[in-house]
Amino acid sequence: MRISSEPATTEAPLGPLDPPPATKDTDVKSAGRRALVVGASSGIGAALVRRLAAEGYRVAVLARRVDKLDSLARECQPLPGKVVVRVHDVCDVGDVPKVFEELVRELGGLDFYIFAAGIMPNVGRHEYDTEKDLAMLRINLDGCIAWSNPVANYFRTQRSGTIIGISSVAGERGRKGSPVYGTSKAAMNHYLEALRNRLAEADVHVCTIKPGYVATAMTEGMGLSDMITADEAAKQILEAARDRVNHRYVPMKWRLIMAVVRSIPSFLFRRLNI
C-alpha cells in the first residue's frame, strides 16, 4: 500500500488503496473531484471548502473545533459537493498516515490537497518564550510536513494531483514582531519549493500561496486596513492552482509590496515597527 509515508524510492505492488490510473486532467473545476483541506474550520480554509463544495467536490475537512466543522458541513449541504468532517490536531503527527488513508478511502481517491492550518499568537516586544515558539512551529511547520509528505507520495504514485500550501508574506523578511511565525512560513516556502522540484517529473503541481492581509479570526483586532475577505482569497488561491503557478501573492498587489520590503536595507528595516 503506497498511501502511507513509506520511502519514496522503491516501487511496491499496487494495493487496494493505491491511486486510480493516472490522468492528465488536473482541472480543479471538474465535478466529482476529491479534495482534502487541513485547517478548514474557519477563515481561508473554510472559504476554500465552500468554493470547492460549490464546484461539486467531495471535500474532507480537518481541524480541532468540531462545532465549526459541523456547521461548515451543514452550510455546504445544499451545494453539489459533499463535506466529510474529521476532527484532527495536526500536532498529532503520528496519526496522520492512518487518518489520511481513511479519508482517501472515504473520498474514493484524492486530487487536490490544501494545508491551511496555522496560528500566529501575539508575541510581546520583549517576549522570548521557547514553549510558545515551538508550539507555533509544531502546527505551522511540522503539521505541514506531516500532512504534505504522505500526500506527496500518494500523488507521486498516482502521477497527478495538486498541493497548495498557505504560507505568508511574513516568511520573506525577519520581522521583529513575529520571529517564529515568519520562520515557520520561510521554512514552509523552502519545503514546498523542494516538494515542487521533487514531484515535477510525476506531473504533480505544488503551489505556494503567500497571503497579505485577509480578514479572518487570525487578523481580527489587529487594526489592519485594506484587507480582502477570506472568500476573495479562496477565489484567488483556486485561480493560482488552475494557472499552475509556483507561487502567488494573494492579493497580487503584495508582489510589488514585497519587492519593496525585500529591498529595504537591514539598517532601515530594523527601525520599522512591522
Ligand X SMILES: NC(=O)c1ccc[n+]([C@@H]2O[C@H](COP(=O)([O-])OP(=O)(O)OC[C@H]3O[C@@H](n4cnc5c(N)ncnc54)[C@H](OP(=O)(O)O)[C@@H]3O)[C@@H](O)[C@H]2O)c1
* Residue 185 C-beta: closest distance to ligand X, Å: 7
* Residue 12 C-beta: closest distance to ligand X, Å: 30
* Residue 11 C-beta: closest distance to ligand X, Å: 33
* Residue 197 C-beta: closest distance to ligand X, Å: 22
Cross-strand partners of 247: 208
CB within 8 Å of 92: residues ≥ 6 apart:
none
Closer CB to ligand X, residue 160 or residue 183?
183
Task: Judge residue 200's burial from the number of C-beta atoms within 10 Å of its C-beta, 0-12 exposed, 13-18 middle, 19 or more buried.
Answer: exposed
* Residue 87 C-beta: closest distance to ligand X, Å: 9
Residue ranges that bind ligand X, judged by CB under 6 A: 39-45, 63-65, 68, 88-91, 116-120, 139, 166, 168, 211, 213-214, 216-219
**Percent of residues in the chain assigned helix, strand, coil, to nearest 5:** 45, 15, 40
Cross-strand partners of 209: 166, 248
> Residues 58, 107: contact at Cβ < 8 Å?
yes
DSSP-derived letter for residue 38 is: E
Closer CB to ligand X, residue 153 or residue 184?
184
Measured distance CA(11)–CA(3) in Å, rounded: 12
CB-closest chain residue to ligand X: 43
Tell me the pairing of strands 112-115 and 82-87.
unpaired
Closer CB to ligand X, residue 45 or residue 161?
45
**First-residue to last-residue Cα distance in the chain:** 47
Q: Which long-range contacts (CB under 8 A, 24 or more apart) does 234-239 make?
A: 234/44, 234/47, 234/48, 234/50, 234/51, 235/51, 237/44, 237/48, 237/114, 237/164, 237/166, 237/209, 238/28, 238/48, 238/51, 238/52
* Residue 221 C-beta: closest distance to ligand X, Å: 12
* Residue 172 C-beta: closest distance to ligand X, Å: 11
CB within 8 Å of 76: residues ≥ 6 apart:
49, 50, 53, 59, 83
Closer CB to ligand X, residue 3 or residue 96?
96
Cross-strand partners of 122: none
Closer CB to ligand X, residue 2 or residue 147?
147
Closer CB to ligand X, residue 41 or residue 189?
41
Closer CB to ligand X, residue 150 or residue 211?
211
